[in-house]
C-alpha cells in the first residue's frame, strides 16, 4: 500500500484568492489523480497528473482554474484559482498503486467565504 499525506488538511479562504494543495506519497508512483467531493456527494475526477507530462483534465475542469504540478514521482500540487464559494469542497489526491487500485489521501477541506 501507499501512505499519502495532504497539506493543508483544511482552510478557510476569501473569494478571489488561490490555494495550493500539496500531495505527498511515500513511494514513487506513476499516476496521481485529483478529485473533488462536494458535501454529501460522490467523488468527481478533476484531472490525472503524470510526471513529465501535462495534466489531463476532465470535462468541466480547466487548467486555468485548477493548475496542477507534478515535479517528481512522489509529489503533486493542485491550485484552486480565483476561488468562489462554489469551490467549497473536499479535494482529494489519489495514486494508482497496482492494477487500477487507488489509494487516497485524507483530503483537504476547503471553505470559501
Partner 1 sequence: LAKTTQPISMDSYEGQEVNITCSHNNIATNDYITWYQQFPSQGPRFIIQGYKTKVTNEVASLFIPADRKSSTLSLPRVSLSDTAVYYCLVGDATRSQTGANNLFFGTGTRLTVIP
DSSP state of 58: P
44 binds partner 1 (CB under 8 A): yes
Shortest Å distance, C-beta 107 to partner 1 = 5
Shortest Å distance, C-beta 42 to partner 1 = 5
Helix/strand/coil percent split, the chain, to 5 = 5, 55, 40
Q: Which of 11, 13, 24, 45 binds partner 1 (CB under 8 A)?
A: 45
In the window 48-107, what residues touch partner 1 (CB under 8 A)? 48, 50, 56, 58-59, 92, 94, 96, 99-107
Question: For residues 46 and 57, what is the distance between their CA atoms, to the nearest angstrom?
Answer: 6
13 binds partner 1 (CB under 8 A): no
CA 20 → CA 39, 41, 43, 98, 99, distances in Å? 20, 23, 19, 27, 29
CA 89 → CA 3, 6, 35, 69, distances in Å? 22, 15, 10, 20
Shortest Å distance, C-beta 19 to partner 1 = 18
Q: By the criterion CB under 8 A, which residues form the site for partner 1? A: 4, 31, 33, 35, 42-45, 48, 50, 56, 58-59, 92, 94, 96, 99-107, 109
Amino acid at each position: 500500500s501507499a501512505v499519502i499525506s495532504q497539506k493543508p488538511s483544511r482552510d478557510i479562504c476569501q473569494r478571489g484568492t488561490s490555494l495550493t494543495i500539496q500531495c505527498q506519497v511515500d513511494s514513487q508512483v506513476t499516476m496521481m489523480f485529483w478529485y473533488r467531493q462536494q458535501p454529501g456527494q460522490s467523488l468527481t475526477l478533476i484531472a490525472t497528473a503524470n510526471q513529465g507530462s501535462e495534466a489531463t483534465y476532465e470535462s468541466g475542469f480547466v487548467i486555468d482554474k485548477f493548475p496542477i504540478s507534478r515535479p517528481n514521482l512522489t509529489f503533486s500540487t493542485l491550485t484552486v484559482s480565483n476561488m468562489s464559494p462554489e469551490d467549497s469542497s473536499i479535494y482529494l489526491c489519489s495514486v494508482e498503486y497496482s492494477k487500477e487500485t487507488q489509494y487516497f489521501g485524507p483530503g483537504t477541506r476547503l471553505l470559501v467565504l
